[in-house]
Amino acid sequence: MRKILVAATAAILATGAGLLSASAADKLKIGFIYLGPVGDLGWTYQHDLARLAMVKEFGDKVETTFLENVSEGPDSERSIEQLARAGNKLIFTTSFGYMEPTLKVAKKYPNVHFEHATGYKRDKNMSTYSGRFYEGRYIQGVIAAKMSKSGVLGYIASFPIPEVVSGINATMLGAQTINPNIKIKIIWANTWFDPGKEADAAKALIDQGADIIMQHTDSPAAMQVAAERGKLAFGQDSEMIKFGPKTQLTSIMNNWGPYYIERVKAELDGTWKSEDFWGGLKSKLVVMAPYTNMPDDVKKLAEETEAAITEGKLQPFKCPVIGQDGKEVECKGGTHLDDGQVLGMNFYVKGIDEKIPGK
Amino acid sequence: MGLIEAIILAVLAASTPLLLAATGELVTERSGVLNLGVEGMMIVGAACGFGGAWLSGSIIIGALCGIAAGVLMSLIFALMTLGLAVNQVATGLALTILGIGLSGLIGARFVGEKISPAPRLAIPGLTDIPMIGRILFGEDAFVYLSLALVIGVWFFLYKTRPGLILRAAGDNHASAHALGYPVLRIRLYAVMFGGACAGLAGAYLPLAYTPFFIPGMTAGRGWIALALVVFASWLPGRLVIGAYLFGAVTILQLHAQGWGVGVPSQLMSALPYLATVIVLVLISRARTGGSTAPAALGTVFVPDR
């Protein structure tokens, strides 16, 4: 009920925004659909930073409108359509759950171009884009194993979807290159965002012996708990060093800016076409925050690992990958698991003791 | 610090916002008013509480700002339901939606800022007692304040005359009115008390629990507080048990995952809510003697002059 009303409010606001900006006809109008508030310090915040970077790049050649707090699923269709009807020629829908609604609206408005984040369905006027966040997780695993005294890593997970599972596996594979006996404790928060619960999960992990905290949930709460307890932690989605100046080792930052600039440029030049973009460290969509609170040799190792992944010399999912059951995973990519296997990952690698929830 | 001690401390912190908000709502409902806007009052309390503390540098001023914000929100509710006799359920839901939007607006400039959290108490001699010292004397003041508040509410409701009148207004407003008691004024005070408690509960989150503000940070705790009042069958004593039980289940399910207990985490996350449903069933089955809902709960009262 609450979500419906919020979405309805957003739709009304969208209509208003459309009316206000109707006069500027010669500018390229670009719309954005956001999952959370722009001030969430995580996922949506990073998308909005990218939007601002793009606006800075093109100045008065573009005009942007964004709708925040748009809940995923069928409700979002109205909001997306509002943007299309208001004359936006390029529309970014920035969460997985907008996939079907975006596809529907794209069919209705063939002259409008759509960009959908983290999905897998495309059309001739609908592209997809996402990030290889697992590359950053691998580096974090290496750092974590170097820095951990107890040999136990604490991982706060959100939902057991492939993106999260591949992140856990990449962390573990990175950590095992340093310490083959490293242990990982995983707590599923079953939410993307609940600062209190994230803090509680961090406390539980630390109380059970973990001394490095990493997370796939959105708020800086876990970082603060680690800081208070004198442990170390990794940020998530954005730079979180402010919440743990003596705690943050690094953070995987989602840097959508260059991609948004590139796509808007293509739109302005008339060269936009439907694509599937999955960028990592190399394309700078995934950026590591400065390596801090670690000795120089660990920092050097982290930088070398980052460089090797960027250059393609190191594949986080290099074959052979051994599954939890001890069997080797089929190697579809030749020397490493192929993109399809990573995008659909639903198994843990060897060394993780727990089971994926629901399996 | 032992593991058990650590778990108890985490449970205390997790339960406190629930207990504070539920205590306020209990008094409101005892007067016959059902205010479903607890979540909305909490989140505005969180935004204003953090803002106050960040601007002034004082946790106490922050807490007072949170209380004031909760009271102001509850006054909107009171104006609608007591003044204009609008449906309480609809108004409460609207208050929650309003609160979520308003808190985002108020809190926008505080996002990304941080404060130092409320200090833990350190009473020489007492806090250092092994095992129980940290638990009984070593958490932040809000934890103990919330317990004192429940005791105060119990004393007020059952040991004082105004408390008796408040309960009378909630059980039969027509009789209370006939006896000459100002039903609407009593309910106004009860609603304001509920708002103050919800505001303080909301402020507890950014002031002590996770010392930063992010829109939506209450994450449904207001709704749990509402469920707790029913869980407690409107009795302050059971409210304390319920709040700590909720907190304990929440924390223990996280620990159980860390220990690798083979129960699906989704089920464990749902446990507190399952517990509520079970207790509701038990209450309705054993409805003999024990206290049930205030008889006039949720009904609109318009005095005939």
Best B20, B257, B263 member to test A by mutation, with max A CBs in 10 Å, is B257
| B215/A37 Cβ within 8 A | yes
Three-class SS of residue A272?
coil
Both structure tokens of A305: 């690992």
| A207/B6 Cβ within 8 A | yes
Cβ contacts (< 8 Å) between A188 and chain B: which residues?
257, 265-266, 269
Is pLDDT at B276 greater than 80 in this prediction? no
Higher pLDDT, A231 or B5: A231
Is pLDDT at B95 greater than 50 in this prediction? yes
Q: What is the mean pLDDT of chain B?
A: 90
DSSP B218-252: TTTHHHHHHHHHHHTTT-HHHHHHHHHHHHHHHHH
Helix axes B221-231, B3-30, angle to 10 degrees: 70
pLDDT on residue A2:
46
pLDDT on residue B257:
86
| B221 lies within 8 A of chain A by CB | yes
Interface of A with B (CB under 8 A): 1-2, 5-6, 9, 36-37, 39-41, 154, 185-188, 190-191, 193-201, 203-205, 207-208, 219-221, 224, 242-243, 353-355, 357-358
ipTM of the complex: 0.85
How far is residue A111's CA from residue A124's CA, in Å, rounded to a whole number? 10
Q: Which helix (H) or strand (E) holds A127?
A: strand A126-131
Cβ contacts (< 8 Å) between A203 and chain B: which residues?
6, 10
- Closest CA–CA distance from residue B261 to any residue of chain A (Å): 9
A-B contacts at Cβ under 8 angstroms: 115
Share of chain B above pLDDT 70, in %: 97
**pLDDT tens track of chain A, all 359 residues?**
444 445 545 544 444 444 444 444 579 999 999 988 887 788 899 999 999 999 999 999 999 999 988 888 888 999 999 999 999 999 999 998 899 999 999 999 999 999 999 888 899 999 999 999 999 999 999 999 999 999 999 999 998 888 899 999 999 999 999 999 999 999 999 888 889 999 999 999 999 999 999 999 888 999 999 999 999 999 998 889 999 999 999 999 999 999 999 999 999 999 999 999 999 999 999 999 999 999 999 999 999 999 999 999 999 999 999 999 999 999 998 899 998 899 889 999 999 988 888 77
Q: Which of A2, A201, A353 has its CB closest to that of B260?
A: A353
Three-class SS of residue A93?
strand
H-only helix segments in chain A:
2-20, 43-58, 75-85, 99-108, 133-147, 162-176, 195-207, 221-229, 257-269, 296-311, 339-343
Whether the predicted model's global pTM rises above the 0.90 cut: no
pLDDT digits (tens, 9 = 90+) for B15-46: 999 999 999 999 999 999 999 999 999 999 99
Query: Measured between alpha carbons, how far apart are the two ends of chain A, in Å?
Result: 32
Higher pLDDT, B186 or B280: B186
| B216/A208 Cβ within 8 A | no
pLDDT on residue B282:
79
How far is residue B210's CA from residue B204's CA, in Å, rounded to a whole number? 9
pLDDT on residue B1:
62
pLDDT on residue A25:
55
Residue with the two structure tokens 């790049």: A57
Q: Which residue of A lies nearest to B37 if distances are taken between CA atoms?
A: A2
| B266/A224 Cβ within 8 A | no
DSSP B25-44: HHHHHHTT---TTHHHHHHH
Is pLDDT at B158 greater than 70 in this prediction? yes
Buried b / exposed e over A65-93, threshold 16 CB at 10 Å, is bbbbbbbbeebbbbbbbbbbebbbbbbbb
